[in-house]
Structure 1
Amino acid sequence: MFLSHGLLESKPVPLADLPPDLRLKVIGAAGAGFPSPAQDWEETAIDLVELLRLDRAASFVFRVSGQSMVDAGLFDSDVVIVDRDAKAVNGRIVIAVVDGGFVIRQLSMRSGVPVLEARNSQMRYEPVVADEHVEVWGVVRASVRNLKV
C-alpha cells in the first residue's frame, strides 16, 4: 500500500496469503568490517515471509511517501511492515489515522499527553495530539529500502 504525502491512497491488505515459496538464495556472507570466523557459515535460502513475519493476519505493508520521517531512518519509497496487534508505546513509529487518512509518525509522550511527531529536522511539521479523533492503527516493526544505484 502507499502513503502519499502522509496519506494512504488505498486500503491496506493483509499479507497472510503470500506464496509459501517466496525465498531468496543466499550466496555467502559479505564482510562489512573485520573478517570473522563466522564467514564460513552458510545458509541456502532466506524465507522473506518468515524473516519479516509477513504470514500473520495482523501484518500489513505500507510504502512511505515524503520526507517527514528521514531522521528516524525512513525515506521516500521505503516499505514498512506494520503490526496491528503490537502495543503502541512511547518512542515507537506508528501508522495512525488522522483526519481520515493514514500518516506515519513517532509516538511521543509530552507532559503525559500522547503526541504524533514527524522526524525531519529540516522541515516543520505540526505535532498531532493522539486524542479520541486519532486512531493509532498499527506499529511499524521493520522497513525495507531499495538502494537504487
Structure 2
Amino acid sequence: MTVETPKNLTFFTPEFSKNEGTIFIDTGISAGFPSPADDFRETRISLDDELISNREATFFAKVSGQSMIGAGLDDKDLLVIDRSIEPTNNKIAVCFLDGEFTVKRLRVQGEEVWLQPENPNYPIIKITEDNNFVIWGIVTSVIKKV
C-alpha cells in the first residue's frame, strides 16, 4: 500500500487482493432477538468488489478532525474516495483548498460553491475566485473501527 501524507488527510493507494475474499454470513446478524445458528450459510465476499467500482480512480484516506461527525465521519475513520465520480450538490467531497486537504459536504447553487461541515462548531466555507480550490474526489464509503 502506497502512503502519501499531505496536510490533514493521509492518503493510501489500495492494493487489491487476489484471494477469494473473506467469509461472509449472508443471513444477516440480528440486532434484536437472536436467530438460530443453524440457519446461517457462509459464502465469500471481497471488500474490493463491494466498496470499489473504479479501481484506477479509487484511493483511501484517514479522517483527521471532527468537522464531519454529523455525517458519520469520525476522527481516524478510513474513507473510500473515487476520483471518477462527478462532484454534485450534497456529495461529500475531499477537496484541496488553499494548500490543505479537507473533507466537507458540497453545496452548489448556480456558479456558487460552499463547503459545508457537519458539525455546528465549524464554519461554512464559501469558495471564491481567490481560493486555490480543487475537488479531489467523492467519498463513497467510510470504514470504521469499533
Residue 19 of structure 2, aligned match among 14, 18, 21:
21
Counterpart amino acid of 1:50? D
1:96 deviates by 0.4
Which residue of structure 1 lines up, in the alignment, with residue 55 of structure 2? 56
Post-superposition Cα deviations, 1:81-113, rounded to whole Å, max 9, x if no partner, equal 000010110000000001122110110025751
Which residue of structure 1 lines up, in the alignment, with residue 70 of structure 2? 71
Q: Which runs of 4+ in 1 moved over 3 A?
A: 1-4, 33-36
Post-superposition Cα deviations, 1:96-140, rounded to whole Å, max 9, x if no partner, equal 00112211011002575111121102x132414165620000000
Counterpart amino acid of 2:24? V
Q: Compared with structure 1, are the counterparts of its residues 130 and 49 closer, same or farther at alpha carbon in structure 2 (3 Å cutoff)?
A: farther
Which residue of structure 2 lines up, in the alignment, with residue 107 of structure 1? 106
How big is the alpha-carbon RMSD for the aligned residues of Structure 1 and Structure 2?
Answer: 2.9
Q: Is contact 2:12–2:61 with CA below 8 Å preserved after alignment?
A: no
Q: Compared with structure 1, are the counterparts of its residues 45 and 145 closer, same or farther at alpha carbon in structure 2 (3 Å cutoff)?
A: same
Please give the alpha-carbon distance, in whole angstroms, between the structure 2 residues aligned to 1:3 and 1:54. Answer: 24
Which residue of structure 1 lines up, in the alignment, with residue 8 of structure 2? 7
What is the percentage of aligned positions where both structures have the same residue? Answer: 29
Counterpart amino acid of 1:125? P
User: 3-state SS of the aligned residue for 1:61?
Assistant: strand
TM-score (norm 2): 0.79
Counterpart amino acid of 2:135? V
User: 3-state SS of the aligned residue for 1:57?
Assistant: helix
TM-score (norm 1): 0.78
1:23-38 to structure 2, matched below 5 A, reads 23-27=21-25, 29-33=28-32
User: 3-state SS of the aligned residue for 1:80?
Assistant: strand
1:14 deviates by 3.1
Counterpart amino acid of 2:93? V
Runs of 5+ unmatched residues, structure 2: none
In the alignment of these two chains, the number of paired residues is 140
Counterpart amino acid of 2:18? P
Which has the larger strand fraction?
2
